Structure formats: structure tokens, C-alpha cells
Amino acid sequence: MAVIHIQGAAEKAQGIHYEVDIDQAPLGVGGMGQVFRGFRVDERSGIRRDAAIKFLFDDLPQNAIERSRREASIMISSENLVEMFGFIEVDETDAAGRVTHRYHVASELLDGVVLYDLLRGKITDINGQVIPFAQDLYRQYINDRLAFSIYITKNVLSGIMALHDKGYVHRDIDPSNIMITRNGKVKLIDFGIAKQLSALGQNDRQLTTAGQFMGKAAYAAPELVMGDVAHQNETTDIYAIGIMLYELATGHLPFDGPTHEVLDMQLRMKLPLKDVGNKYLRSIIAKATDKRQQERYASAAEFRVALEQLSRNSLPPQESAPPLPPAVANTPSGPPATMPPRPIEISRSTSGSKSKLPIILGAVAGVVVIAGVLLALLLGGNKNTSDNPQQDSSEQVTERSSVETVTPTSSPTEENAVEQATALLKDASTAQKGVDKLNEAAQNGDTDAMYLLAQVYAHGVNLDDAIKAAIENVVPKDNKKAHELNEKVVKAQPDHYQALYELGCDYMAGDQRGAVDRDLDKARTYFSQGAKIAEEKKDAEFVERFNIRLAALD
């Protein structure tokens, strides 16, 4: 154990310091720095409080440091906002007398799962422990979508009210920036591009420039799309929350496509509100997402009142439940920060000897993170560079690694082909070659190639981040083709429970994935078969996944 104390001049004056064991593994590593679990210590009372402490890298540009400084300065007490502790500056002098400036961001440590992951059935923390509050919310999402949508949105609006009351606009609201915590809170996180209303219209230390797009395309209000800094205000956040409410209610985003196309849709197209099953909710979303700022709700409080009035009405059940979402979606729509992916070893059981085939896939999971700390660090300066509005979010999804144990049927030559394809898929310039190689191996009966190819065609959330980014504009998304490939995998290898899981999710989601018609009986059959096999293979993670889906179907 190597515990270090961190204390700058400001902390010394306040009588506090931070303690971090740097021998422990970081919670996350990204473009801005590393986040560690630590403690905030009050030297007067001796009270210790869990904290998330980001160690910024030494070579960051000044504007990145200033963004972190501004984020850390938004210290607002609200049960629906992450609590920022401060920006810590420490000067270190080496033996030669050279002074190095070290910067850190400290905040509340949140134990939970991000909403983005919850919508895809993730109800566990970084250690794989079930979060009862998340479990209850997911069941409500499956069984009473309207009530779930209202509950989440009202909590987010409460957090935004507190933020707006202090003179800030968030400008980056989406499911990846909302944390469902173990202690039963819904918290808005990541103040990385939040802005003081009093500073809008100015180049606040050149951190925000007129004409520059900030945020995520899928949730961006027209004034955000245009980079019209002077007119970004409370209604900018209201628009994003309206888009998110649409997503919660329908299971999908209103606009899809490359970033430039989605940005154009945000400017010119109305939302396809016919997809919202409840007509009262439809009118609320329409008002919140009006292209004209003056026609939106004037405040978060007004928006919240409208939802409260809706929730007080006894609405017909048939109006309150749109089609079910995918349990674990193959269409990324938005995530939080990403942990550095590690290989998941996928193999399958046969009568032959056991071996392992490394396929680079990241298993999406919740992680103990803090708001903007982990999110900003992982995205760094590349927050808005994705060509896919949904990928903008999914690039932020917190991930953890896992190992799936089954035995491959592939010959050494086939294994090499899949490994080679995996490497090719990580670069946009060679991604198509990787797909071609997988197709060739799949045609030769390699089930490993078929399964990975299915993930590629589905743009699956389990893919390595590098692969997701590389194939985004190279491989057209085709959920039907992915479904057909998984069917072939199961036909060739009936005990391939990973493919069984995907097929079950397809039938549970129905037209949300667009691969097959919704059929809950078939979904239940696939999940039941897969759960038995996963249990035999002692794959606890997949057993849990199957059980969550089966519970949702009961």
C-alpha cells in the first residue's frame, strides 16, 4: 500500500486533505488522466469521506486544464447532482530544483450504474453486485414504461433546477450522464461543458467559441447545433431532456445517422412523435423540443409540473406502454466514460479439448464513477468527434472486462483468421478487409467468426471501442444479418449460449432492433436454454444476464 496525501494551498487553508492508495488499480484511465478511489479527510474532525480523485496528465493543454478547473468549481448541494469537492493544485520540486505543477479534480464517489447501461439491462456495479434500486427501476422500465420515464425525467429536472438556479446550463444531458446509485438516487453527472449563464456570449478563457458545436448531436438543441453561444440558456437543457424523455418512452432516439445528418435533423425536422404511445406525453415532448426556444418550457420547474400533472392522471394502460426495448441493445445510443477494454476470451464447449480464442470485445457494465470526473477524463478533447450521434454517447459508456468460458471449434488456422480480422477491424482503413476475412472464415464454418461478424453487423455494444469507431462509417448496420448469423452459430453449435442470448434479445426487442417480429415466447425459450448452458459452463455473469431477462418476462 502506497498512500499519498494531496493538499494544495486552498485545501490547507480549509483544513482538509485527500488520501489515495496509488498501488490500487485506477477506476478509469483516459485522455485526461486517471481516476482513483480515495478519501477526503477533514483534519479538524477526522471525518473521512469517500472521494473520486482524477490525476490529470502532465502534458494537457491549458484549455483542458481550465475546463477541469471550471467543472470542479460547480459545487452545488442537490440530491440529484453529483457533488464536486474542488480543483487541487500541487507544486512538486525535484532534486534539480525544477517545479512541476500537478492538477487533480476531486468529487463525490458514486456507487451505481449509469442510466445508459440500465436501459440495456445492466443492474450491477463494477464488482458485479446487484443494485436493488437499479433492479427495481429496470423492472419498471419493462413493465410500466410511462411511469419509469416520468420518474427518471422528474429527478433529472430537479437536478437541472438546482443547476439553473446557480446560474449554470449543463449542455450535455443524456442517459450516459445520469447515474442510478445504490442509495436510491438519480444523479446528473459530468459538468465538463457546463457554462455560466452570465458568461454566455463571451469567450470564457477561450473555452467556448461562437460557431463551435458543443455536446452530443442526438440531444442537441438547434442553438447548440449552430454554436450560437449567446442564445444557449435553460431551454437548451430542456430540449435535451425532451429528447431523452422521448428515448425513454419509445426505446430509441428520434434521429439516427451520421453526426452531420442528425445535426441537420435537429435544425429542420420535427420529432416522429407518432412513436410516443401516450398522447399527453406526446404533447409534453413536443413542447420541450420545439425548435423555437420561446415555445419550449420556460423553466425546468414548468416542465416538471407538466409531468406531475400527467402522472396524477389515471391513463389507460394501452396508452402507457410502448413496445419493449432491447434488453441489451445492439444500437449504442449514448455513453459515459469507458474503462480501457481488455480482451474477453470467447470459447465454446465441444467434445474435443479446451482452448481459448481471444476476441476483443468489451462487456458493458456499470462502474463506480463520478460525474464529469470519469466522463471528462475518458473523452478528453474528443468529446464531439463521433460521426454517429448514438455513438457519441456510447463512446462514454463505462465498461469492465469479463471472461466468458466455452471451448472453440475453430482450427488453429481459423483462430488465426479471426485474430487477424480483429486486428484489421480496429482501423477504419482496413476494417472492410477484416469483415471480408470474417466472412471467408464464416463460410468455412467457423462459428467464432460468425459470432464476431454478427456483433460487427449489429454494431454491438460489446465490441471493443476501437472496432466500434472503425466500422461506424465502413460497415452498414444490419441487425437482420446479425440475427441470421447468430442463428447459424446456434444451428452449428447448439450450446453457444452467447448467440442464444442475442437471439433472445432480438425476439424480446422485436421492431426495436428490427431483426424479427417480437415474440416473447421465443425469447423466453432462448433465454431458458442459454441459462442452463451458461450454468453448466459456470459462467456466472451470463447466468445473471439470462436470469435478469427471464425475470423481466415474468
Domain 3-108 and domain 344-387+401-553 have a common topology? no
Q: What are phi and psi of 21, to 5 degrees?
A: -90, 105
Inter-CA distances, 70 with 9, 84, 128, 199, 382, Å: 18, 11, 33, 12, 18
Q: Pick the closest to residue 54 from 76, 80, 32, 78 (CA basis).
A: 32
Q: What sign for the dihedral angle of Cα 496, 498, 504, 507?
A: negative
What's the CATH class of domain 3-108?
alpha beta
Is residue 472 a contact partner of residue 391, using CB atoms and an 8 Å limit? yes
Does the global pTM surpass 0.75? no
Residue with cell 449543463: 170
Q: Write down the CATH superfamily of domain 114-320.
A: Transferase(Phosphotransferase) domain 1 (1.10.510.10)
Q: How far is CA 331 from the centre of its chain?
A: 12
Supply the CATH classification number for the domain 344-387+401-553: 1.25.40.10
Farthest-apart Cα atoms in the chain, separation: 75
Cβ count near 277 (within 10 Å):
18
The H-assigned helical ranges of 75-131 are 115-118
Q: How far is CA 226 from the centre of its chain?
A: 25
Per-domain boundaries in the chain: 3-108, 114-320, 344-387+401-553
Is residue 446 a contact partner of residue 360, using CB atoms and an 8 Å limit? no
> Mapping DSSP to helix (H, G, I), strand (E, B) and coil, where does residue 286 land?
helix
pLDDT per residue, tens digit, the chain (554 aa), is: 788 999 999 999 999 999 999 888 888 777 788 899 999 999 999 999 999 999 999 888 888 898 899 889 999 989 999 999 999 999 888 778 888 889 999 999 999 999 999 999 999 988 889 999 999 999 999 999 999 999 999 999 999 999 999 999 999 999 999 999 999 999 999 888 888 887 654 444 444 444 456 678 999 999 999 888 888 999 999 999 999 999 999 999 999 888 889 999 999 999 999 999 899 999 999 999 999 999 999 999 999 999 999 887 644 443 443 343 344 333 333 333 333 333 333 333 333 333 333 333 333 333 333 334 343 433 444 434 333 333 333 333 333 333 333 333 444 444 477 888 888 998 888 989 989 989 988 888 889 999 999 999 988 767 877 898 888 788 888 889 999 999 999 999 999 999 999 998 888 877 667 788 888 889 899 999 999 999 998 888 788 888 878 877 76
